[in-house]
A = this chain, B = another copy of it.
Amino acid sequence: MSPDDHLQIRACAERARDAARTLRRLDAARRHAALEAIARRIDDAREAILAANAKDLEAATAAGLSAAMVDRLRLDPPRLAALSAAVREVAALPDLLGPAQENRVRADGLVIGRRRVPLGAIAMVYESRPNVTVDAAVLCLKSGNAAVLRGGREAAHSNAALLDVVRDGLEAAGLPRDAVQGVPTAERAAIAELLRHDDCLALAIPRGGEGLIRHVAEVSRVPVIRHYKGVCHLYVEASADLDVALRLSIDGKCARPSACNALETLLVDAAVASTFLPRLDAAMAARGVRLRADPAALSRLPRAEPADASDWDTEYLDLVLAVKVVAGMDEALDHIARHGSLHTEAIATRDATAAARFQAEVDASVVAVNASTRFNDGGELGLGAEIGISTTKLHAYGPMGLESLTATRWDLVGDGHVRAPVTDPE
């Protein structure tokens, strides 16, 4: 990068810091008005957004991207309508900020309260669909934060058009355009350069493949929310209702295999292997799912391929499922402790003691009993919206809603309260 790039990125970080300071001071009504203005602009600027998106689609097709990738990039009138509707939904969520809550009075009269405050300026680095540009901006603004956005190159035109729309909406509502910014240069080195400025940026949220997230965690001086991968298991325990186990397997693997909460490995108790595996085999074959099985499972799954050691740590993101027969709960828990990703783990069981032990001992952001791994999602869990999923326990664990974009700090009110007695010096 050129020296000028360095200066421009520094200036971007400083503008974000300053805009965050302005946002802190705004009341909920002002933030709400900005979100409404953004939603309106999305509706009004449909033609310009679709024209920008057409350029990305053309380039993607020319570059030979898969049909699935091109579809992820695509915007069309229904998707844009859903996007502005999502903005209005976020606008309508309860506001979290404001004066101190939970006030209590100490015996000496000091009043102690807690106030929910924005984090400041948040850097989002993502590879995902262009609607993330709007979703991320709007969740940051709703929670009083400024945002610096760095989307994927393949969506560059769409992201730029959506960024213009967001900034026009901010301006229309009398908020600083710099409350949401793009990174000034498209080079990959700009990510590391931006994330040096921990005096301006409060948080970095990477969204995308594990490579991107490890890169951000490696280069950033700014604290990073990490979501490495989702290697989610379902343990079909000896007492399981096998109809339930099959439903959870099908939903977990087939409904949306590219999602991080999709099922990757099935652990089948030896006690039910001979009855369950043939049913699994038929159900997965009918849905085009390839199975990769350990030796014990292979004997019941004639169509499966033999799994190798790497399968147990692989997030396939595809219609592939690893299957292993385990001797019982101990082996299932050991396997999950070794290969789990702190994302989502599930058990199918009719035994309340087994369910309680699984929930007590498994380490994951969501632990489900007789429910699909696919419920690890901010919307499903009642958070209203989601800016990412954390698979470390720091700051947030699991889906991150608006509350994860805030912190609580302490407000004290006294009338001259001191800790040590103030006396005249001898």
Interface residues, chain A, CB within 8 Å of chain B? 21, 24-25, 99-100, 104, 106, 110, 112, 115, 117, 119-120, 202-203, 217-218, 221, 223-224, 226, 241, 243-244, 247-248, 250-251, 254-256, 286-287, 337, 355-356, 359-361, 363-372, 374-377, 380-382, 392-395, 397-398, 406-420, 422, 424-425
Q: By the criterion CB–CB under 8 Å, are B372 and A251 in contact?
A: no
Q: By the criterion CB–CB under 8 Å, are B372 and A418 in contact?
A: yes
Q: By the criterion CB–CB under 8 Å, are A363 and B117 in contact?
A: yes
Q: Hey, which chain B residues are within 8 Å of A417, CB to CB?
A: 370-372, 375
Taken together as a complex, chains A and B put the C-alpha atoms of A376 and B363 apart, in Å, by 33
Q: Hey, which chain B residues are within 8 Å of A203, CB to CB?
A: 393-394
Q: Which of B112, B247, B256 contacts A422 (CB 8 A)?
A: B247
Taken together as a complex, chains A and B put the C-alpha atoms of A415 and B250 apart, in Å, by 15
| Given contact pairs A25-B360, A104-B382, A202-B394, a sample of 13 additional A-B residue pairs in the complex whose CB atoms are under 8 Å apart | A99-B356, A99-B359, A119-B394, A120-B363, A223-B226, A247-B416, A247-B418, A368-B411, A369-B414, A371-B418, A377-B419, A393-B409, A398-B409
Stoichiometry, as copies per complex, reads 2
Residue of B nearest to A374 (CB): B419
Q: Hey, which chain B residues are within 8 Å of A375, CB to CB?
A: 110, 412, 417, 419
6 interchain residue pairs of minimum CB distance = A371-B414, A393-B407, A251-B418, A255-B420, A244-B416, A368-B412
Residue of B nearest to A246 (CB): B422
Q: Known interface pairs A361-B24, A393-B117, A418-B251. Does A367 touch B202 (Cβ–Cβ under 8 Å)?
A: no
Q: By the criterion CB–CB under 8 Å, are A367 and B409 in contact?
A: yes
Query: How far in angstroms is the closest Cβ of chain B from A285?
Result: 10
Q: Hey, which chain B residues are within 8 Å of A106, CB to CB?
A: 382
7 A-B residue pairings within 8 Å (CB atoms): A25-B360, A112-B382, A203-B394, A251-B420, A370-B414, A371-B413, A372-B417
Residue of B nearest to A20 (CB): B363
Residue of B nearest to A245 (CB): B416
Residue of B nearest to A352 (CB): B413
Q: Hey, which chain B residues are within 8 Å of A424, CB to CB?
A: 286
Q: Hey, which chain B residues are within 8 Å of A243, CB to CB?
A: 416
Query: How far in angstroms is the closest Cβ of chain B from A212?
Result: 16
Q: Known interface pairs A367-B412, A368-B414, A410-B365. Does A119 touch B393 (Cβ–Cβ under 8 Å)?
A: yes
Q: Known interface pairs A112-B381, A393-B119, A394-B202. Does A410 touch B223 (Cβ–Cβ under 8 Å)?
A: no
Q: Which of B224, B398, B410 contacts A376 (CB 8 A)?
A: B410
Q: Hey, which chain B residues are within 8 Å of A221, CB to CB?
A: 217-218
Taken together as a complex, chains A and B put the C-alpha atoms of A247 and B418 apart, in Å, by 7
Q: Known interface pairs A382-B112, A398-B409. Does A415 touch B376 (Cβ–Cβ under 8 Å)?
A: no
Q: Which of B99, B256, B397, B406 contacts A407 (CB 8 A)?
A: B397
Q: By the criterion CB–CB under 8 Å, are A425 and B376 in contact?
A: no
Residue of B nearest to A425 (CB): B286
Query: How far in angstroms is the closest Cβ of chain B from A136?
Result: 17
Taken together as a complex, chains A and B put the C-alpha atoms of A426 and B119 apart, in Å, by 49
Q: By the criterion CB–CB under 8 Å, are B412 and A366 in contact?
A: yes
Query: How far in angstroms is the closest Cβ of chain B from A3?
Result: 24
Q: Hey, which chain B residues are within 8 Å of A392, CB to CB?
A: 202, 223
Residue of B nearest to A334 (CB): B21
Taken together as a complex, chains A and B put the C-alpha atoms of A363 and B406 apart, in Å, by 12
Q: By the criterion CB–CB under 8 Å, are A415 and B367 in contact?
A: no
Query: How far in angstroms is the closest Cβ of chain B from A415?
Result: 5
